[in-house]
Amino acid sequence: MDKLQIKKMSLVERIKNAKSTAFSFELLPPLKGNGIDGVYRTIDALREFDPKYINITTHRSELVFKETSNGLFERVSERHRPGTVAIAAAIQNKYKIPVVPHIICSGFTPEETEYALIDLQFLGITDLLLLRGDKAKHEKEFSPTGHAYATDLQQQVNKFNRGLFVDGSHMKSLTPFSYGMACYPEKHEEAPNIESDLHYAKMKVDAGAEYLVTQMFFDNSKYFDFVDKCRQKGIHVPIIPGIKPITFMSQLTVLPKIFHTDIPVEFADELLGCKSDKEVVEVGVEWCTKQARDLIQNGVPSIHFYSMMATQSVKRVAKAVF
């Protein structure tokens, strides 16, 4: 197979063609004012494990109050991590590793989303992860700027793939986007029950999602149970487990609060027994390694690592299992 053919393969095709469980990880664009060197250091640390793709997160603007020259305050919009499209292009150009930028509803109008899709197509980046995204920090509940749900965003991408713009105009046919979407082994925080969550997961797949990637979890039994339920509902796309090694004691409470994931009693007890973050790192690596080994032994197609603030821990886990 030549290089041109490899470049045209979708993410799912790359995973299916892998000889063993595929490896991937997620990156954050640098904070505004910082360079790209930190991104490159993370990739340099993990590229030896042959990542089949790298996810790049997208971040919404936040409303803040700033003092004006006349001493009054006005509310302005600030975006602290711009550059998802540019970072994706830079990585693809420098490393030739497939990139999967996040496209989100939160904080973006359909028109802004369309501009991003156009730019990505010009760059030849045609794998996406479609997400609703988080609510703004000042909001009690999610308030849409444009699309209210990831499935609404999905419909925009589907129409774009057919050559339809938001304003109803047409464009010449280009390579369509392939995309995945999120799923939640422990239920989305806003879902009334797991059955409702499964209903929307199937809706995403029936409408064109080629794979699902999970929110992070620390109990593999919940992932396996979720996959079984998905298969019973007729969801047969790859369901990629997303895991993360804990590196700070504070994450014992922060991660459940932000990501609504349970930490098993055994794991929590081990963490609570640590006397320093250095010990936490060791416990986190050990637990994540056990998770990864168990997932691989049970034949998962790929493992996706949430690597923020955990690059060296992810590297240690990958060395142990890949």
Domain 3-65+73-183 CATH (choose: 3.40.50.1820, 3.20.20.220, 3.90.79.10, 1.20.120.450): 3.20.20.220
pLDDT of residue 39: 94
Q: What is the pTM of this model?
A: 0.89
pLDDT band at 6 (very low <50, low <70, confident <90, very high): very low
Residue 9 has pLDDT above 90, yes or no: no
35-58: average pLDDT: 95
pLDDT of residue 140: 63
Neighbour-count burial of 54, counting CB atoms closer than 10 A to its CB (0-12 exposed, 13-18 middle, 19+ buried): buried
Contact 29, 57 (CB under 8 A): yes
DSSP secondary-structure letter at 111? H
d(CA 249, CA 221): 24
List, for residues 159-173, the tens digit of each pLDDT value: 999 999 999 898 876
DSSP secondary-structure letter at 254? H
pLDDT of residue 146: 80
Please give the share of the chain, as a percent, with pLDDT higher than 70: 87
Residues whose CB falls within 8 Å of the CB of residue 269, separated by 6 or more in sequence, listed in order: none
Average pLDDT in the chain: 89
Dihedrals φ, ψ of 266, to 5°?
Answer: -60, -45
pLDDT of residue 120: 95
Residue 217 has pLDDT above 50, yes or no: yes
Residue 31 has pLDDT above 90, yes or no: no
State the angle between helix axes of 150-161 and 194-206 in degrees (0 to 180), rounded to the nearest 10: 10
pLDDT band at 80 (very low <50, low <70, confident <90, very high): low
List, for residues 103-150, the tens digit of each pLDDT value: 999 888 999 999 999 999 999 999 999 998 765 555 566 566 789 899
Neighbour-count burial of 44, counting CB atoms closer than 10 A to its CB (0-12 exposed, 13-18 middle, 19+ buried): exposed
pLDDT band at 3 (very low <50, low <70, confident <90, very high): very low
Please give the share of the chain, as a percent, with pLDDT higher than 90: 73
pLDDT of residue 163: 93
List, for residues 272-318, the tens digit of each pLDDT value: 999 999 999 999 999 999 999 999 999 999 999 999 989 999 999 99
Residue ranges covered by each domain of the chain: 3-65+73-183
The number of helix segments (H) and strand segments (E) in the chain equals 12, 11
Residues whose CB falls within 8 Å of the CB of residue 64, separated by 6 or more in sequence, listed in order: 75, 76, 77, 78
pLDDT band at 2 (very low <50, low <70, confident <90, very high): very low
Contact 105, 144 (CB under 8 A): yes
List, for residues 174-213, the tens digit of each pLDDT value: 789 999 999 999 988 888 999 999 999 999 999 999 999 9
Residue 154 has pLDDT above 90, yes or no: yes
